[in-house]
């Protein structure tokens, strides 16, 4: 068979960029390309969506116990959350991860941890989705070896590895290696799973983190499909036929509160993906089918009146279902405050059970089909997303566009505009900037003892290294490095061999880093966008006036160094603060990601700032922020104020305030109010000095 050459295609509807798209909806059935009404003809009538819960925390044993309870309570598949140390390719004993181990996911350092994670869970019967991109090679290797230890054949494994590194460079930032080198890893995993794991999805092309970072539905749709197009080219370059791997590609969308638009997004996604893949002349109709997992929005949840989040999650879940998702995770009500508790996780899981078993919505296919409103939104969504896809194509594809920083810039602009509309009360968030409650009931939050988890993991690592064959470990790691250098062979096969000889996740990652290097993004501060959207707001004007007053009295603007600590790459909040504070008149210095406390203090002193602003979303604040305060004391610079923002339980806030943090701002804080409070504290401190 003659295979089409891999090239950058001008993807046009009906052969013309200029021609307006018209959908003949009555001809677009479920189960038939372009799959407008669903990827399968009967949709939920015969098989409802899979109920998943994205979860993982602390040690492998604790997460395993949580998984077993959930499966017993009606969950149908597992979605594994790994801690940030694991995501970034560090073992738990690395100095850079002291505040991250076991906090925002489960700590996995070796194949022994992975075996414990799935103990008493038959991997030939339970579908496993793993959200992993940076350290995808060792995690995939450990999963395969854990299945091997259970006696499960590779052909019987089902589930999904995210393996979507491109979106990490746009939004989530849990990358390890540079984009081009990372794509070699993606390619080898697609090749390996295509040949040996026919039931396993080799990649989950994810728009979810774009959604969480502030992308509009159109941007999320366009950039996710553009990523998918890039992965198709990657598979073809690896020598695979389009029909060998396209049927096992899957997608992952975030679902927000714009109910009808989110339904339209999923419907438009199927049409556009079918059109994209058709350009490569597949013979198998399954290659054209877009199958997807969805997760309700984490960003839409509020810390204020958290029980309102149950309603938000239900509305978002219904959007995903009406849009035709194949599996679904519903967020818990307390996730704007901490990791979910058993209490909140049960409500989130049961929300899906109610929708499946009590509402009768599984008895029809695409219930909104024919609605003038939904069909119009679907058409508009497809046309607008297609324009954005063509922009990426004209730049040479998504990898080229990422190197230019274009997608990241558009998402950050969208996030700034949205935040300004919320701060200016143009977009209402119930309980946060509208219909506020004076007294809200406090709720329990899940607490992970980070020091205990790290101690446990380090002891396990020490024991592993004591009894393994060091020579075999070093030889297997050298072979992996040589594969990376030569480009010959499959990296996943070499990683599996290293894991079999008990090489750790950190060692496997380092073996690749020797050739690929570790990537570091240069941050930028966007100016003028927030100001343009909110300049007429009285609160913004009064905050700006206070900055001017400070500058006139001190002879310089207020200087702030903004940073994230540890390995958390979610930087939406940090970027919004940087840009909005710059528009207000602050002198803003934005640090690179993944800083240690010592590095933050060192850079702050070099910039001679009066304020250090720290963003915390991954629960490492109790370990890392006290280290900042200790470092400042060593230099006799207690005059520098520490400001903290992010997801912090109330009891943790009180602890941080007691040890010297000046201000703490949770999710939903209006930026102008935060700026005024910070400036007043700074003026008071300078007056005392």
- What 3-state DSSP class applies to 85? helix
Residues β-bridged to residue 201: 160
Q: In sequence order, what DSSP letters do the residues of 402-469 get, joined into one string? A: HHHTHHHHHHHHHHHHHHHHHHTTSS--BTTTBS--SS----------HHHHHHHHHHHHHHHHHHS-
Residue 24's pLDDT is 53
Cα separation, 390 vs 58, in Å, equals: 43
CATH for the stretch 164-404: 3.20.20.240
Domain 529-688 has CATH 3.40.50.720: no
Predicted TM-score (pTM) of this structure: 0.91
Give the model confidence (pLDDT) of 562-615 as tens digits: 998 889 888 999 999 999 999 999 999 999 999 899 999 999 999 999 999 998
More confident residue, 529 or 565: 529
What are the CA-CA distances from residue 353 to residues 48, 67, 344, 358 (Å)? Answer: 10, 17, 15, 8
Residue 208's pLDDT is 96
Residues in the chain: 689
- Average pLDDT of 664-685? 91
Active site residues: 54, 208-209, 564, 568, 570
Judged by average pLDDT, the poorest of 89-98, 224-233, 300-309 is: 300-309
Residue 503's pLDDT is 98
Cβ neighbours for 435, distance < 8 A, ≥ 6 positions apart = none
In the block, tokens 């746009």 appear at 170
What does pLDDT average to over the chain? 91
Q: In what order do the strands lie in the sheet with 159-161?
A: 200-201, 159-161, 127-130, 77-80, 50-55, 327-329, 292-296, 249-255, 203-206
Q: Where are the domains of the chain?
A: 52-161+437-474, 164-404, 529-688
More confident residue, 444 or 252: 252
Cα separation, 592 vs 568, in Å, equals: 12
Give the model confidence (pLDDT) of 360-415 as tens digits: 999 999 999 989 899 999 999 999 999 999 999 999 999 999 989 999 999 999 99
Cα separation, 367 vs 45, in Å, equals: 12
Tokens matching residue 51 = 């109920």
In the block, tokens 């996943």 appear at 492
- Average pLDDT of 304-329? 95
| Residue 132: closest CA among 91, 169, 83 | 83
Q: Residue 487: is it exposed, middle or buried by C-beta count within 10 angstroms (0-12/13-18/19+)?
A: exposed
Rounded to 5°, the CA angle 685-534-412 comes to: 90
């Amino acid at each position: 068979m003659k295979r089409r050459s891999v090239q950058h295609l001008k993807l046009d509807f009906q052969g013309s960029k200029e021609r307006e798209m018209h959908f003949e909806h009555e001809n677009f059935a479920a189960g038939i390309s372009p799959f407008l009404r669903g990827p399968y003809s009967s949709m939920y009538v015969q098989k409802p969506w899979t109920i998943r819960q994205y979860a993982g925390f602390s040690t492998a044993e604790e997460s395993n116990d949580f998984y077993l309870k959930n499966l017993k309570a009606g969950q149908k598949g597992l979605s594994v959350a790994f801690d940030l140390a694991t995501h970034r390719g560090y073992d738990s004993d690395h100095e850079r991860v002291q505040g991250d181990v076991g906090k925002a996911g489960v700590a996995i350092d070796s194949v022994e941890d992975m075996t414990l994670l799935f103990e008493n869970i038959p991997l030939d019967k339970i579908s496993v989705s793993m959200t992993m991109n940076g350290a995808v090679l060792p995690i995939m290797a450990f999963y395969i070896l854990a299945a091997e230890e259970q006696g499960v054949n590779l052909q019987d494994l089902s589930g999904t590895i995210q393996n979507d590194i491109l979106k990490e460079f746009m939004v989530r930032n849990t990358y390890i290696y540079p984009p081009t080198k990372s794509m070699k890893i993606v390619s080898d995993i697609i090749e390996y799973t295509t040949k040996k794991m026919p039931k396993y999805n080799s990649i989950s092309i994810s728009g979810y983190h774009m959604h969480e970072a502030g992308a509009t539905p159109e941007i999320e749709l366009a950039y996710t499909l553009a990523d998918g197009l890039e992965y198709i080219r990657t598979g073809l370059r690896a020598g695979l036929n389009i029909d060998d791997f396209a049927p096992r590609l899957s997608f992952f969308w975030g679902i927000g509160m714009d109910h009808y638009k989110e339904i339209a997004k999923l419907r438009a996604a199927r049409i556009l993906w079918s059109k994209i893949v058709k350009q490569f002349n597949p013979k198998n109709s399954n290659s054209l089918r877009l199958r997807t997992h969805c997760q309700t929005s984490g960003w839409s949840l509020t810390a204020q009146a958290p029980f309102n989040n149950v309603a938000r999650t239900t509305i978002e879940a219904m959007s995903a279902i009406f849009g035709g998702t194949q599996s679904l995770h519903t967020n818990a009500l307390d996730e704007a405050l901490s990791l979910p508790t058993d209490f909140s996780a049960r409500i989130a899981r049961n929300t899906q059970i109610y929708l499946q078993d009590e509402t009768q919505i599984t008895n029809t296919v695409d219930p909104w089909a024919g609605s003038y409103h939904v069909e119009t939104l679907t058409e508009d969504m497809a046309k607008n997303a297609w324009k954005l896809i063509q922009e990426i194509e004209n730049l040479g594809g998504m990898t080229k566009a990422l190197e230019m920083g274009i997608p990241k810039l558009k998402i950050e602009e969208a996030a700034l505009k949205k935040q300004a509309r919320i701060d200016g009360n143009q977009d209402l968030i119930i309980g946060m900037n509208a219909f506020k409650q004076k007294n809200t009931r406090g709720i329990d939050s899940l607490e992970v003892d980070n020091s205990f988890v790290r101690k446990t993991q380090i002891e396990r690592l020490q024991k592993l290294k004591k009894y393994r064959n060091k020579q075999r470990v070093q030889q297997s790691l050298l072979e992996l490095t040589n594969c990376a250098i030569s480009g010959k062979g499959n990296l996943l096969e070499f990683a599996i061999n290293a894991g079999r000889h008990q090489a750790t996740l950190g060692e496997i990652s380092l073996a690749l880093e020797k050739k690929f290097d570790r990537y570091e993004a240069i941050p930028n501060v966007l100016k003028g966008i927030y100001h343009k959207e909110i300049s007429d707001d009285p609160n913004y004007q009064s905050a700006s006036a206070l900055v001017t007053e400070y500058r006139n009295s001190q002879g310089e603007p207020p200087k702030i160094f903004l940073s994230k600590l540890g390995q958390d790459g979610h930087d939406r909040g940090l970027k919004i603060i940087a840009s909005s504070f710059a528009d207000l008149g602050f002198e803003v210095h934005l640090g690179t990601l993944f800083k240690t406390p010592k590095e933050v203090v060192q850079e702050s002193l070099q910039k001679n700032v009066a304020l250090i602003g720290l963003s915390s979303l991954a629960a490492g604040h109790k370990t890392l922020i006290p280290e900042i305060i200790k470092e400042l004391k060593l230099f006799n610079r207690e005059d520098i104020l520490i400001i903290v923002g992010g997801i912090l339980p109330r009891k943790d806030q009180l602890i941080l305030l007691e040890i010297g943090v000046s201000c703490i701002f949770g999710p939903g804080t209006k930026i102008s109010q935060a700026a005024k409070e910070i400036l007043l504290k700074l003026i008071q401190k300078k007056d005392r000095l």
